[in-house]
Structures are given as structure tokens and as C-alpha cells.
Amino acid sequence: MNTLTAAQVTPQEALESSACRKAAIRLIPLLAIAYFFNYLDRTNVGFASLTMNDDLGLTASQFGFAAGIFYVGYCLFEVPSNLALYRFGARRWLARIMITWGLFSASTALAQGPVSYSVIRLLAGIAEAGFFPGVIFFLSLWFPIQYRTRVMAWFLFAIPVSSVLGGPLSAAMLAMDGIWGFHGWQWLLVLQGLPACVLGVMCLNMLADRPADAKWLTVDERHALQSALDAEHESKGSHSFRESINDVRVWLLAAILFSYIIGILGIGVWLPQILKTHSLTTTQIGWVSAIPYLIASVAMLLWAKVLARKRRYVLHLAITCATGAAGFIFSVVYSDLIPALIGLTVALIGLSSVRTCFYSIPATFLSKQAAAGGIAFINAVGSLGGLVGPYAVGWLKDVTHSFNAGLIAMAAMLCVATVLTLILRYVVKEA
């Protein structure tokens, strides 16, 4: 992972590199798999809706509202959850989050109508609050900045992969309709929800709160990595939560994330329904929806490789947001299946790469409690876009009887994110 030649590497740097390599092998696969199911939980309702909406009597607006209300609980409890993680330790708190969100996600299968469906999704959002920013904070406790971007990219790789595998997987689970008297969408929600509980138990056994606590590192490796991280954290300006919320950069990042999430979750929740308008079967939708995400997965890792070398996080954030907007606009202008799919693929390349750029930025100026609370605050405010995006697309679909208005709205919000990022670039004075 280190770019220095063997002749240039000092014994301290060699120990640090060895420790990071071991940590990446042990921690990232588990966290990435957990995030795979985490993100799947947010978007699998899009596939469930192909049959669930008729069974529960949901209109497009009601489904969009219920998909979005998840983020009300999620956002309200995001900061308290991450401050609890800072106090009690990531190992125990991340495990708690996974177990409770898995139970509530599976419980969505018990919904009987619009009200019960909305209530369960609200509770699932509360249970899940703090997982993503908690992991981002956790990675800042384990990996120095020169390693963090690529490590974060491999963790975030779970997002497009969840959509690559999630489409065909969800379509297959919908085909289980009638087994043991359950609907296919009920099987989908249960089988994709409960694995989180198992992963939560695994986290208790495999994670360590910081390098100094890791028994699977040598004493020298623990000391070298912990010393490097302590020096990095002490060099940053903001250390308390109060300092972080008084920082204009934090508010700009929250506004950028809000605009971005409207785009990413709008397409994440509604892509199956959009493809359905092209007269595809459920199985075809499952496979076709995987194509843009597969391409976006590869593009995200390549983009992260460039980002790790250049470290121009804000500039690349603006480029990725603009790419997402351009892709959505293209899919509206050229609305036949193949060109529209090309446009959506371009959009998802940009949208998938946004997170690696975005979440590399807070750790450059926030540390300790400021990082735990500040990242959660950014994520909480920004994630309100998760309430707006799915509902807005559903409402526009009901009003216009087309998804084009929703795609244009998502493109517009990504343009807003691009402008805000350029303002942020001026504030941080990135070269």
C-alpha cells in the first residue's frame, strides 16, 4: 500500500505499512459485507415494490414517502448514535447497530398497509442510525491519511456491488412467491435483513477499537501505527463536537451531501420501476439493473486510485457530482432503453465515485470527538435528502405520469452539489 521504494522505507514506516496491511485484510472485508447488506436494505424496497405495492395498496407517492421516512429516524438519531460510539467504542456499538437494524429490516415483511409499512421503516432508520458515519470514523482511527482513501474505496465498493448482486438476487427471491404461504417480497425482506444480525455478532469478535487494542498485531506494529495516528490527529484543528458544528466547512459538506443523496437514492429506490416502463419482466429488470452498477463499481476503484495519488478531494468531488448530473440529463434526452441505460450508467459512475471523494474530506480537518460527531452531523443533515429524493420522484411520477421529471430534478440537485463543492474548494483553498 505504501508508494515508497524499499530503499526509502524506514523501519517505523515498514511496521506501519505491515500493520495497515493486516488491518485492511481483517477489518475491511467484514465492514464491506456489512455495508453491502446495509445499502441493500435501503434499496431492496425498490424491488419489493414491484409486487408489494399492489399487495399493500401503496400509490407511488405513499411508497416514496415510506421509503423516505426511514431517513427521518435515521437523521434524528445519527449524531447521538455516533457520540455513543465514541464513548462506548466502535466494536460494541457497530455490533448493536447491525443486530437491531437486521431485526427491523426483516420485520418489514410483517407490514399490512401504508401505515404499518411506514412505521416499520421509521424504526429501521432509528436502529440503523450511525452505522455509516461510525465506520468512516472508525477507519480514521485505524488508517493514516496516505492509506485511507483506498481503504475507504474498498469499503464503499459495497454500494455498487450491492446493486450488481442485489438485482438478480432480489428478482430470484421475488420468484419464491407462495412458498410456505409468504409473498415473494416478504421472502426478499427477511432473507436480506437477517444476515446483518450474524455480522453484528462477528463484529464483536473481530473488531478492535484502535490499533493499541489489536491482539492480532505485534507489539511493535501496534506502537508504530498508533503513534502515527496519534500524531496525525493532534495536528488537526477541531477536536470537540461544538467546534465542528461551528465550522463553515461542515455545513457546506452537509449541504453538498443533502443534494447528492437526493440523486443517489432517487435512482437507487426507483431504478426497478423506471426499467419496468420499458416493458421488461421482473427477471430482466434484475439483470439489466446490474449492468450500470457493475460498470460503476470498476470505475469507482479506478477513480479512487487516481484520488489516492493526487489527494485533490474537493476538485474530484465537483467532477463526480457534475458527471452524475450529465448522465441523468442524457437519459432523459435519449429515453429509449439502450441510450437511457448508457446515461444512467454514466450517472452512476459519478454517483458511486462521489462518496470516496466526499468522505476523505472531513478527516482532513476534524479529529477525536469532532470527527465522531462532525461526520455524523454531516451525514444526518445530508441524509435528509433520503426523505426528499424518493418521495419527490414518486410525487412527480404521479403528477406527470413519467419518470423524466424526477430524473431532471435529481440532475438539478447534483448541479447544486457541484456549485456548492466549488464554493467549498474556495474555502479550503485546495490547489
C-alpha–C-alpha distance, residues 224 and 205, integer Å: 24
Q: Report pLDDT for 291.
A: 86
pLDDT in tens, 136-166: 889 988 998 888 888 888 888 887 777 678 7
Across 51-55, 266-270, 388-392, 410-414, least confident range: 266-270
| Phi, psi angles (nearest 5°) of residue 238 | -95, 125
The radius of gyration of the chain's CA atoms, rounded to the nearest angstrom, is: 21
C-alpha–C-alpha distance, residues 36 and 199, integer Å: 11
pLDDT in tens, 3-58: 444 446 688 888 988 999 999 999 999 999 998 888 787 777 778 888 898 889 88
Whether the CB-CB separation of 49 and 63 falls below 8 Å is answered with yes
Angstrom CA distances, 416 to 258, 344, 407, stand at 10, 19, 14
Q: Is the pLDDT of residue 320 over 90?
A: yes
**Sequence-ordered strand ranges (E) for 62-176:** none
Angstrom CA distances, 251 to 60, 254, 260, 381, stand at 32, 5, 14, 9
Unique residue bearing C-alpha cell 429516524: 73
| Phi, psi angles (nearest 5°) of residue 124 | -65, -40
C-alpha–C-alpha distance, residues 106 and 94, integer Å: 18
Angle 248-276/385-400 helices, nearest 10 degrees? 40
pLDDT in tens, 171-222: 889 889 889 989 999 999 999 999 999 999 999 989 999 999 999 999 999 9
Q: Is the pLDDT of residue 429 over 80?
A: no
Q: Report pLDDT for 238.
A: 54
pLDDT band at 308 (very low <50, low <70, confident <90, very high): confident
62, amino acid identity? Q
Instruction: Determine the 3-state secondary structure of 211 from DSSP.
Output: helix
C-alpha–C-alpha distance, residues 56 and 248, integer Å: 44
| Phi, psi angles (nearest 5°) of residue 366 | -115, 145
Whether the CB-CB separation of 227 and 144 falls below 8 Å is answered with no
| Phi, psi angles (nearest 5°) of residue 413 | -70, -30
C-alpha–C-alpha distance, residues 353 and 121, integer Å: 27
C-alpha–C-alpha distance, residues 92 and 417, integer Å: 35
Domains and CATH numbers, the chain: 11-428 (1.20.1250.20)
Nearest partner of 195 among 44, 314, 359, judged by Cα = 44
pLDDT band at 1 (very low <50, low <70, confident <90, very high): very low
Chain centre distance of CA 345: 18
164, amino acid identity? V
pLDDT in tens, 88-111: 899 999 999 999 999 999 998 999
Nearest partner of 175 among 191, 164, 162, 159, judged by Cα = 191
C-alpha–C-alpha distance, residues 187 and 168, integer Å: 14
Higher pLDDT, 236 or 230: 230
Chain centre distance of CA 323: 18
Angle 11-56/184-193 helices, nearest 10 degrees? 160
**Sequence-ordered strand ranges (E) for 277-374:** none
- 282, three cell numbers: 421482473
C-alpha–C-alpha distance, residues 106 and 193, integer Å: 5
Q: Report pLDDT for 6.
A: 45
How many residues appear in the chain?
431
Angle 90-107/184-193 helices, nearest 10 degrees? 170
Chain centre distance of CA 99: 18
C-alpha–C-alpha distance, residues 323 and 319, integer Å: 6
254, amino acid identity? A
What average pLDDT is seen over the chain?
A: 85
Angstrom CA distances, 158 to 61, 95, 422, stand at 29, 18, 28
- 320, three cell numbers: 463526480
Higher pLDDT, 212 or 276: 212
Whether the CB-CB separation of 225 and 16 falls below 8 Å is answered with yes
Q: Report pLDDT for 368.
A: 67
C-alpha–C-alpha distance, residues 129 and 380, integer Å: 9
Q: pTM of the entire structure?
A: 0.74
Exposed, middle or buried, 431 (CB in 10 Å: 0-12/13-18/19+)? exposed
